[in-house]
Amino acid sequence: MTSDCTEDDVRKMDIGDPLAAVREKFHLPAGVVYLDGNSLGAAPKAAFEELNAAAKSEWADQLIRSWQGAGWWALPETLGDLLAGLAGAQQGEIVVCDTTSSNLYKALHAALSLRPKRPVILTEAEGFPTDTYIAEGVKSVRENIELRLGSLDDNNIDELLDDSIAAVLINHIDYRTGAVRNMKQITKRIHAAGAIAIWDLCHSAGVYPIDLNGANVDFAAGCTYKYLNGGPGSPAYIFAATRHHGELSQPLSGWWGHMEPFAFEPTYTAAKGIRRLLCGTQPILSMRALKAGLDIYADLDMVDVRQKSMSLTNLFINLIDQECQGHDVEVASPRDARARGSQVSLSHANGAPIIAALTARGVIGGFRAPNVMRFGFAPLYLSHHDVWRAVAHLKEVLVSEEWRQDRFNIPGHIS
């Protein structure tokens, strides 16, 4: 690169990084610049130890005794309390369990149970598709429920709210552009309309400061395999404000959510507190891997995480402007770092083969149809120099038109 910002300038940005030592807690393949942590986070080294202990000692040697002796039974709440500190929740307001989809299903049913005279669910027309799919599923099993889709943002949500709406399901950070919604202000407006606010936190937890109680949120759910580094398919989580614990109901009434799960009673009685949002037996090995990811945050300040996130994404955008002009690359994310999560999206008509070419070079990003190249910046294990390397490779791919090679133009999914 031969522009105003030099490689030496970028290296200096890494000096004094308060998160620099955290990188050593992750296994990162040599030579790889990993910019897809917004789809699947890197592996914490401690996860291997957790899995080894859970499988070889607890499962293999202690067998069924580990449900109590190793704390397996309590893991949904134990991990939920670890997450609470990252999400601005109280102890006992988050439980780790199941999938984001099933937890949104529970939250929507719970919201409808709290607003029984209101027939409408409002969610995003262009939000993450599973949110809409789940809302459709809820509608299909409840009588006289209507699903409305709209463009839910800070500017126009008032136009979509009325006294028929029971629940609003909205993403905190948009999965395509990385745009951040004002959780506190939007929740306030939802409540002013008498509705329940449900937030999807999949793209914010772990990289963006969240204050669920400060924003007076009712319910929230999210995954743990992105920036929380829990591993592929690691269990999700659900938040319910304490004020709703005594009234909410949800239809997935499995034995783990029973008041007396080992009494084996013939009828269901919901547990008190957050455990009533549990369903069936949880994936203990995956939970133990997730513990390693959450433990990393114990000694971190989310202010440092957010500051580095903004610095990394600002640098990426500046270098794109500096190095990729004339190659039809457009920044599709907000340019103001305060309005952006830890992701920068670029648009290009040939985004899919460009991402494939970058991946072959060891710069791993993601693609979303029709033309969005997504780059997630995980502050815990990325450096500013990683950003420099990524843009250098992108420039070479664009200038050489390497992406035109047949091997990069094979139809198929790119994460």
Mean pLDDT of 266-278: 97
**What confidence score (pLDDT) does residue 413 get?**
57
Q: Are 399 and 275 within one domain? A: no
348 C-beta neighbours (distance < 10 Å), count: 22
- CA dist., res. 322 & res. 209, Å (int): 30
Over the chain, what is the mean pLDDT? 96
Each residue of 114-167: pLDDT tens digit?
A: 999 999 999 999 999 999 999 999 999 999 999 999 988 878 899 999 999 999
**What confidence score (pLDDT) does residue 2 get?**
46
Please determine, for residue 411, whether its predicted confidence score (pLDDT) is greater than 90: no
Structural domain of 252: 49-299
Q: Are 349 and 213 within one domain? A: no
Q: Are 93 and 173 within one domain? A: yes
Please determine, for residue 3, whether its predicted confidence score (pLDDT) is greater than 70: no
The percentage of residues in the chain with a pLDDT greater than 90, rounded to a whole number, is 96
Please determine, for residue 406, whether its predicted confidence score (pLDDT) is greater than 60: yes
Q: Are 364 and 218 within one domain? A: no
- CA dist., res. 365 & res. 399, Å (int): 19
How much is the pTM? 0.96
338 C-beta neighbours (distance < 10 Å), count: 8
Chain centroid to CA 88: 15
Q: Which residues are catalytic?
A: 128, 200, 225-226, 374
pLDDT band at 1 (very low <50, low <70, confident <90, very high): very low
User: Does 39 fall in a domain?
Assistant: no
Q: Are 159 and 283 within one domain? A: yes
How many domains does the structure of the chain reveal? 2
Chain centroid to CA 128: 11
Mean pLDDT of 369-393: 97
Bridge partners, residue 96, by sequence: 237
Q: Are 94 and 174 within one domain? A: yes
pLDDT band at 4 (very low <50, low <70, confident <90, very high): confident
